Chains A and B, each alone.
Chain A
C-alpha cells in the first residue's frame, strides 16, 4: 500500500517542549484503530519556524497547516480529516484559510512569504532521520559535484563568488578563510563545525542540527575537500542531546551509503567525522577556546595571531565554520554561486536565520534575505508587538550585540550596517523590546550572563565584566550618580579595546550601544531616581487604584503578606515590606494594580 497522505509533525525545540513527541504516539494509536495506518506516512520533521503557534501538524497533499495542536486534538484530526476527509477548521492556522475555506499553502502566508529558506530549506519538509529524503531533495549532489567535477581551488573560487560570510557572528568571507587554510601546506589539516551555540535564546543551529543534520555533514565535507583536510570535528554543546543523536544517526547513515569514509564517490577523497561534546561553557564557542577544549585543555581563549587557519588544532591549519554557514554550502554548490549571490545586498550575500524573540507576536525562526529591513522583519513577518505596545528597540547579536532604536527600523540588515549602528549580526538572535522594558535592566541581564561565562584568563574581561555588572546595579539601585555612568562608559571602552578574545571584546557592546541611544534612561535612574520602564525593583513600587473590587486575590497570594484590606474594600500595599515580586499585579482580575 502506497501512502496517499503525509502527516508531518513539527519536532522543533519549541514544539517538543509543548508536547510534540507524544503527538506521534497519538497518531499511531488512532490511525491503527481506524484501520488506515498504512495509508498515512507519519514524519517527525524539523523546525517549521513559526514557533509561537506550535505544535504543528501539516497534512499533505492538501497542505493543511494545523497549529496549537494538543494531544486530544489528534483523535479529531484522524477521524474527521484523515478518515473522512473533513478539515478540522478550528485547528487550522487561521491565516491559511480563506473566507471560502480554501486552503492557502502555508508558505504563502505573511510569516513565510517574505522569507527565503536556503539554510532551512529542508527543515519542516523532511524526516531528518532518513538520508534518502535528504538525497531526494538534492542532498549530496553538491558534494558529488565538488569531488568529481571540481578541484579544491575551484570549490574555493565558487565559495568566494557566492559571497558567503560566516554566519556565527564573525562575518568573515568563508571562501577567503578556506583559501588561507588551503595555502598553508601541511600533511594534516582539520575542519571543525562550531555547534556550541551559546547565545541565550538562540536556536538556529539547534533547528538545523535536529532538522537537517546531513546538510551540516555535507557542508563540512565540501569544506574539508576544499582546504585539504580529511578529518572533521563537530563540537556540539552537551545541552543539545537530540541534536547529538540526530548527528550520530546521520553519520552512520552516510557511512553506510559510502558518502562518508574512504574513497567517497570513488574520488579518492577520504573523510572522517568525529563528534566532540562541550561541557557547558559559552566561551568554548570562541574558536581558540573551542580548539583548546578539543585538545583536552581548559576552555580558555588564545592569542590571535597566529590564526587557526595557520596554526590551529594541535598546531595544524584548522578551519572553524558555524553550523548555518555549513548548511548553506551544499545549496551553493548544487544551485550555483551566482544564484546565491543574487540574493541579499552588495556586501552581504545570501540569507540569515534569525531567532525572533522578546515582545513579538510571532516568536520563532525566520530566514530572510540580507537587506530586508528590521521593520519588515518585525511587522510583516513577526506580526508586530503584542498588546499593541510601542516598539522601543531591537537587540541583535545576543550578549555581544547592541540595541537599535525604533528610529532606525528602516535599516537594511547587513553585517556592516549593524556594526555601524553599534550592534552586530552575531549568530542571529533578535530580541524585540517594547516600551515596558528598562535598558539598564537589559544590560544587566546580558552582563550577568557574560560574567558567568568569562573564562577568567585576561584581566579586563575577568574583572571588568564583574565591575560593569556591579556598576549597573549601582545605577539601578537609585544610589548612583552621573559620575557612575561616566565611569561605566570608560570601563566599557577599556574592556572592549584590551580584552584578549571576542567574548570580552564584545561584552561591553550592550552597554555602549544602550548608552549611545538611550542615555537619558540611564540618567533618569541616577538623577530623578526613576526607572522609566518600571522594571528596576529598588526604584519602583506598586499601588492599588480605585478600580479595586476587594476580591482579596492579591492579599491571599502575596508571599510576604504585605497587602491589607477587607473583602469588597479597597486594598493597600505596605511598600516597606513589599519585595516587588509582581505577583499581585499579574493576578489582579481588574488590572487595578499599577507600577510607579
Chain B
C-alpha cells in the first residue's frame, strides 16, 4: 500500500493512500464531529457535521468519505467550519423533541453529546414563525418503535436494513423537510415485512428507533406483592450487561448480575441454558423423525429473525422450521406449568420476565402459539440495555454491587452447565446420534464462501448439513440456494442478517467503536471462554424427562415445548 503525506491543521502526517481525511485527522488525535457516518454501513455524508476546509476545493467538504491525495492541506477549525457545525446542529434541534430526562438514550445519545459539546442553543424555538415538523410515532409493533421526533435523518437504519437483510424495510418517505424514515406509506412495523433483526436499533444514534419498552411494566409487576416474578436470563447477558455501566466490551459481570436480581426483587432466577439443553434434545428428536420419514430439510437458527423471514418471504419452507420452542419460551412454560407447583406457587401468580439480546423475542413472546393452557409462557421480555436502564432507574449501580450466586430455589432445581457455544447444528447432530445410540461423528467442514458444508450419518442415512455464517444477506442465501438447486438437509443460519449475536438488544456502542472495534467478536469470545461447571447438568434434565415428558417428542413435550408457524403476508 502506497503512502500519502497530508497536512491537517498545519500538522503533517503520512498515512496509507486509501485513508479518508477523517481517518488521517483521527490518527493525529484531531477529533472531527460526526453523526451519520458508520464505516461500511452508512457513508452517505448526510449530516454535514464533519465538514472541513480543503485548500483548492470550493466550499466545505465532508471528511468522512473524502479520499486523501498527496499534498492535501486540510483545515478543521476555522470560523466558517465552526459556524457550519453549530448552524447545522441548530437546524437539527429545531425539529427535535427534547425529552432527554425520560429518553432511553439520555446517557449515550450521539446528538445530545454534540449539542453539549458545541453548546448549541435551540434558537428556532423562540419564534412562532418557525414551524416544527409533526411528530410521527409508529409503535403498534410489540418489538420495535419508530419515533420521528427524535430522528435526525442520518439514514443509518436505512443503510443497515438494506445491507444486512437486503429487505429494505426502512427508507425515506416524502421529500425535503417533510422526509420521514419508516416503512413505505408510514405502514405499521409489524405489517411491513420486518424480521426484527434489530440492526437498525443498534446503529441509531438517537432514540428514533428502539425496542418497545417494557421497563415500566416490569417495575410495576415487581412492586406487586401478589406476584411471584421469575427472571429467565440468557447466558450471554453476563458478558454484555456491564457495558452499560462502563465495563470493557465483553467483561463478565455474572456475580453482580445475580446480585442485582436479588436487589431488584425477582423472586426466582432461571438461566435459559437449561431450556437450551432441552430444546436441543427436542430438536434432535425432530431431526431423527424427519430423517427416518424423509421429511427433510430442516432449517434452524438461534434467532427468531430467521423464522420471521421464512414466515413472510419463503413460506414454502414453513414446514422446514423445527417446531421446538426457543429457550426463552421453554423456560417460561416449564416455570409456570411445572416448577411453580414444585416450589409451591400458584400458576396464576407467577410472572416470567426474560432478559435477552434480541428484540425479536418480544414479538415471539406475544404469539398465540407460545401459550399453554391459555397462559403466556413469557409475560415480559427485556433486552439487556432495558434491564440496565431499569437498574439505573432504581439507582442501582451494577459495578458497586458485590458478587453473588443466584438466589432462590429454582436455580438449584435447574442448575446445569452454561450454554456458551453458538452452534445449534453441531449440538443437535450430536444429541441425535446419542438418541439413536450411535456414535457422534466429527464434522469435516468444507467452507465455500460463507457456507460450511459437511456430511453426517444418522440412522444409516447420509445427510448434508450446513452452517451459513457468511456476510451475505438472508435474502441472498435463499435466492442462491434456489438458483443453484443445492440440496441441504439440515441448515443452521448463524449469519449476521438475523441478529444471532446482536439482535438489537445489546448496549449500544459509540460510532467510533462500531467503526474500529470488532465488538461482536469480543463479546462472543468472552462468552465462549467462560468455564463450564455443574457436571450434574444431565441429571437435572433426565429427571425432568422422567417425571414430566417421558421422552423427547412425546405428546406432553409436543404440547408444552413445541410451537407452530404460519404463513404471513405484509402490507395487508
* Alpha-carbon separation in the docked complex, A300 to B46 (Å): 10
Contact in complex: A463, B83 (CB < 8 Å): no
Contact in complex: A455, B175 (CB < 8 Å): yes
Beyond A463-B95, A470-B129, whether A456 also contacts B175 by CB under 8 A is yes
Q: Which of A166-174, A224-232, A497-505 contacts the other chain?
A: A497-505
CB of A237 to closest CB in B, whole Å: 16
Q: Does A494 contact B (CB under 8 A)?
A: yes
Query: Which residues of B does A touch, CB under 8 Å?
Result: 44-49, 51, 59-60, 62, 65-67, 80, 83-84, 87-88, 91-92, 94-95, 124, 127, 129-131, 152-153, 155, 171-172, 174-179
Q: Does A295 contact B (CB under 8 A)?
A: no
Contact in complex: A473, B129 (CB < 8 Å): yes
CB-CB < 8 A to B48: which residues of A? 458-460, 498-500
Contact in complex: B131, A470 (CB < 8 Å): yes
| B44: nearest chain-A partner, CB-CB | A457
* Alpha-carbon separation in the docked complex, A458 to B92 (Å): 10
Q: Enumerate A462-489 residues with CB–CB distance to B below 8 Å.
A: 462-467, 470-471, 473-474, 477, 479
CB-CB < 8 A to B129: which residues of A? 470-471, 473-474, 477, 479
CB of B40 to closest CB in A, whole Å: 15
CB of A295 to closest CB in B, whole Å: 14
Contact in complex: A498, B177 (CB < 8 Å): no
CB of B572 to closest CB in A, whole Å: 25
Beyond A470-B131, A500-B45, whether A462 also contacts B179 by CB under 8 A is yes
Q: Does A396 contact B (CB under 8 A)?
A: no
| B62: nearest chain-A partner, CB-CB | A303
Q: Which of B59, B84, B174 is within 8 Å of A456, CB to CB?
A: B174
CB-CB < 8 A to B84: which residues of A? 460, 494, 497-498
Beyond A458-B47, A470-B131, whether A497 also contacts B92 by CB under 8 A is no
* Given A305-B67, A463-B94, A477-B129: 17 more A-B contacts, CB < 8 Å: A281-B175, A302-B44, A303-B45, A452-B176, A454-B176, A456-B172, A457-B155, A459-B153, A460-B48, A463-B88, A466-B177, A470-B129, A470-B131, A490-B83, A496-B59, A499-B48, A499-B59
Query: Which residues of A does B touch, CB under 8 Å?
Result: 281, 298, 300, 302-303, 305, 451-460, 462-467, 470-471, 473-474, 477, 479, 490-491, 493-494, 496-500, 505
CB of A288 to closest CB in B, whole Å: 11
Contact in complex: A490, B175 (CB < 8 Å): no
Contact in complex: B88, A494 (CB < 8 Å): yes
Contact in complex: A456, B45 (CB < 8 Å): no
* A–B Cβ pairs within 8 angstroms, 29 of them: A303-B45, A451-B176, A451-B177, A452-B176, A453-B175, A453-B176, A454-B177, A455-B176, A456-B172, A456-B176, A456-B177, A457-B153, A459-B49, A459-B88, A463-B95, A463-B177, A464-B88, A465-B177, A466-B131, A466-B176, A467-B91, A467-B94, A474-B127, A479-B129, A494-B84, A496-B59, A497-B80, A498-B51, A498-B88
Contact in complex: A458, B45 (CB < 8 Å): yes
CB-CB < 8 A to A491: which residues of B? 87
* Alpha-carbon separation in the docked complex, A500 to B49 (Å): 11
> In this complex, which of B91, B171, B172, B174 has the most chain A Cβ atoms within 10 angstroms of its Cβ?
B91
Contact in complex: A500, B46 (CB < 8 Å): yes
* Alpha-carbon separation in the docked complex, A221 to B127 (Å): 55
CB-CB < 8 A to A303: which residues of B? 44-45, 62, 65
CB of A473 to closest CB in B, whole Å: 6
CB-CB < 8 A to B152: which residues of A? 459
> In this complex, which of A451, A457, A474, A498 has the most chain B Cβ atoms within 10 angstroms of its Cβ?
A498
Contact in complex: A470, B130 (CB < 8 Å): yes
CB-CB < 8 A to A453: which residues of B? 175-176
Contact in complex: A458, B175 (CB < 8 Å): no
* Alpha-carbon separation in the docked complex, A463 to B47 (Å): 11
Contact in complex: B45, A498 (CB < 8 Å): no
**6 nearest CB pairs, A to B:** A456-B179, A463-B91, A454-B176, A494-B87, A498-B84, A466-B177
Q: Which of B46, B59, B80, B127 is within 8 Å of A458, CB to CB?
A: B46
CB-CB < 8 A to B60: which residues of A? 497-498
Contact in complex: B131, A460 (CB < 8 Å): no
CB-CB < 8 A to A498: which residues of B? 48, 51, 59-60, 84, 87-88
* Alpha-carbon separation in the docked complex, A406 to B47 (Å): 39
CB-CB < 8 A to A471: which residues of B? 129
CB-CB < 8 A to B177: which residues of A? 451, 454, 456, 462-463, 465-466
CB-CB < 8 A to A505: which residues of B? 59
Contact in complex: B172, A298 (CB < 8 Å): yes
CB-CB < 8 A to B67: which residues of A? 305
| B65: nearest chain-A partner, CB-CB | A303
| A452: nearest chain-B partner, CB-CB | B176
| B51: nearest chain-A partner, CB-CB | A498
> In this complex, which of A454, A456, A473 has the most chain B Cβ atoms within 10 angstroms of its Cβ?
A456
* Alpha-carbon separation in the docked complex, A263 to B91 (Å): 56
* Alpha-carbon separation in the docked complex, A463 to B83 (Å): 16
Contact in complex: B62, A459 (CB < 8 Å): no
CB-CB < 8 A to B174: which residues of A? 456
Contact in complex: A298, B176 (CB < 8 Å): no
| A473: nearest chain-B partner, CB-CB | B129
Contact in complex: A467, B127 (CB < 8 Å): no
CB-CB < 8 A to B62: which residues of A? 303, 500
CB-CB < 8 A to A499: which residues of B? 48, 59
CB-CB < 8 A to B153: which residues of A? 456-457, 459, 462
| A464: nearest chain-B partner, CB-CB | B91
Contact in complex: A497, B59 (CB < 8 Å): yes
* Alpha-carbon separation in the docked complex, A179 to B80 (Å): 35
* Alpha-carbon separation in the docked complex, A505 to B60 (Å): 10
| B67: nearest chain-A partner, CB-CB | A305
* Alpha-carbon separation in the docked complex, A466 to B124 (Å): 12
CB-CB < 8 A to A466: which residues of B? 131, 176-177
* Alpha-carbon separation in the docked complex, A499 to B61 (Å): 9
* Alpha-carbon separation in the docked complex, A269 to B59 (Å): 41
* Alpha-carbon separation in the docked complex, A471 to B126 (Å): 12
CB-CB < 8 A to A451: which residues of B? 176-177
CB-CB < 8 A to B171: which residues of A? 298
CB of A49 to closest CB in B, whole Å: 34
CB-CB < 8 A to B83: which residues of A? 490, 493-494
* Alpha-carbon separation in the docked complex, A496 to B87 (Å): 12
CB of A439 to closest CB in B, whole Å: 19
CB-CB < 8 A to A474: which residues of B? 127, 129
* Alpha-carbon separation in the docked complex, A200 to B225 (Å): 70
CB-CB < 8 A to A497: which residues of B? 51, 59-60, 80, 84
CB-CB < 8 A to A462: which residues of B? 153, 176-177, 179
CB-CB < 8 A to B175: which residues of A? 281, 453-456
| B124: nearest chain-A partner, CB-CB | A467
| A455: nearest chain-B partner, CB-CB | B175
* Alpha-carbon separation in the docked complex, A477 to B91 (Å): 22
* Alpha-carbon separation in the docked complex, A474 to B129 (Å): 7
CB of B140 to closest CB in A, whole Å: 25
Q: Which of A298, A459, A465, A467 is within 8 Å of B46, CB to CB?
A: A459
| B92: nearest chain-A partner, CB-CB | A459
CB-CB < 8 A to A281: which residues of B? 175
Contact in complex: A463, B66 (CB < 8 Å): no
| A281: nearest chain-B partner, CB-CB | B175
CB of A580 to closest CB in B, whole Å: 19
> In this complex, which of B45, B49, B84 has the most chain A Cβ atoms within 10 angstroms of its Cβ?
B84
CB-CB < 8 A to B179: which residues of A? 456, 462
CB-CB < 8 A to B44: which residues of A? 302-303, 457
* Alpha-carbon separation in the docked complex, A497 to B53 (Å): 10
CB of B49 to closest CB in A, whole Å: 8
CB of B432 to closest CB in A, whole Å: 46
CB of B163 to closest CB in A, whole Å: 15
CB-CB < 8 A to B88: which residues of A? 459-460, 463-464, 494, 498
| B84: nearest chain-A partner, CB-CB | A498
* Alpha-carbon separation in the docked complex, A524 to B83 (Å): 28
CB of B35 to closest CB in A, whole Å: 9
CB of A534 to closest CB in B, whole Å: 23
CB-CB < 8 A to A298: which residues of B? 171-172
